[in-house]
Amino acid sequence: MKKIGLFWSMALLVVLASCGKKTIPVASNTNKPNVLPQSKTDPRVGPKHQKDSVEVYRPPVKTETDSTPPPVVSNNVYTKTFTVVDSHGRLLLDPEKTPADITPDWIALKGIRSFTPSQAQTMASRYNTVPPRVIYVPSGMEKTGRKGTYYIYSKKFWYWKKEDGLFYLDTNYYQ
């Protein structure tokens, strides 16, 4: 009786071992040429690793900036939106040509920094452009909602009006 139990346990062990075995094809050397490494003293052999000389094309990123404000109609009244502080943190508004309906804090405007490289890269990849930080919007183009006065720039970026009369980019885009 012990022999029959031993026989069945061995048979069960063989079946389990054969079912669990993975079938991997055997690699053959018939198709591969034998390549021997070059000698380190051979002068014809160059460096082991050559730097990649191919440059990757990176499309330029558009920045939404107007280098100069639109012309003044009369008494510093503007009819179009324009950039006050661009995405690089540059102040583009001249203090002498300030619109009459805003009272900017010039020290605070000069202190606005540009977007960090990671913020600019994120916005460029998401929106295909990097928007300006601060813009001027004439009173006829602004909209009022429950949260305050806002303007939608280029149909994608929300700007909110602050006490000085200028519109600042919503922080959700870059934080």
Outline where DSSP puts E strands in the chain.
Answer: 62-63, 82-85, 129-130, 134-136, 143-144, 149-153, 157-161, 167-169
Of the candidates 70, 78, 133, 128, which has an alpha carbon nearest to the alpha carbon of residue 101? Answer: 78
Checking if the pLDDT of 151 tops 90, the result is: yes
At 161, the pLDDT band (50, 70, 90 cuts) reads very high
Does residue 75 lie in a domain region? yes
Q: Domain range for residue 156?
A: 63-173
Does residue 123 sit within a domain? yes
Indicate the range of 53-62, 66-75, 135-144 predicted with least confidence.
66-75
Residue scoring higher pLDDT (124 or 37)? 124
Top-confidence residue, 120 or 81: 120
* Total domains, the chain: 1
Give the SS3 label for residue 167.
Answer: strand
Please state the rounded mean pLDDT for residues 163-171.
90
Q: What is the pLDDT of residue 148?
A: 92
Residue 158 domain flag: yes
Q: With contact defined as beta carbons under 8 Å apart, do 92 and 66 qualify?
A: yes
Identity of the highest mean pLDDT range in 20-24, 35-39, 166-170: 166-170
Q: Is residue 40 part of a domain?
A: no
Average pLDDT, integer, range 14-33: 66
